[in-house]
Amino acid sequence: MQVSFPRPRYAWRVLDAHQLHCARTSLALILTLFCMSAVNGRENSGGKVSILETGIYLAETVDNRSMQSTTGIINRVKDVTLLYTTTNVPGRKGVRFGMRYIIGGIPRASIDMTFVVRFPSSGLYDPATGRRHVRSVHSGSRPVGVPLYREYQLEHDWEVVPGVWSFEFWHHNRKLGQQDFCVVLVPHSSDRSVDFDADDECTEEFVS
């Protein structure tokens, strides 16, 4: 049995000069928008974290929540006030230290960030759980291009460990920034004052 198929018909359309110009313009516009989208995607992935200030702060804790694989508590604070501009921290219970920072990129965008605090080599030993922490990690979405605040508060005596504390900023597998502090053991005082020159640079001399 024979099967016949209709012969296909091809309609060829010749574009005049105006139509050809419009087609080329449309194609160029599409390519431009695609390239801009790719660039914006890279910029929205976050650029370098710039540190605006570092020091010892006063703040009010609004609430906190438990985080796994960390020292336990992440605080949300308000009414943040810089007391001293320094990277040298008096090792006393209750002291807050940290920084204001900004994530580079397109303003009003948000990116997923991972925040790591690496403790001194001896770690922080929690007697209640029997665990020794070498770092604290938590994640969250943060806006790009606006000033932000990050801190660590020495809430327990076992957290007062002298040495270099490193605050790291990560986006996926890219480190966007880092800020180091030196926690120094000082005599207990009711006035919470700094017992050494807060203007000195953070050096190993303070933690030896």
Q: Each residue of 38-67: pLDDT tens digit?
A: 334 444 456 799 999 999 999 988 876 655
**Contacts of 166 by beta carbon, 8 Å cutoff, 6+ apart:** 116, 117, 118, 178, 179, 180
Give the pLDDT score at 78: 84
Give the pLDDT score at 34: 34
User: Which candidate, 158, 114, 164, 155, places its Cα nearest to that of 133?
Assistant: 158
The CATH architecture one would assign to domain 49-206 is Sandwich (2.60)
Domain limits, the chain: 13-44, 49-206
Give the pLDDT score at 72: 64
pLDDT, greater one: 6 or 165: 165
Q: What is the pTM of this model?
A: 0.70
pLDDT, greater one: 29 or 162: 162
Q: For residues 82 and 53, is the Cβ–Cβ distance under 8 A?
A: yes
Q: What is the pLDDT of residues 83-138, one digit of tens each?
A: 999 999 999 999 999 999 999 987 778 999 999 999 999 999 999 999 999 999 98
Mean pLDDT of the chain: 76
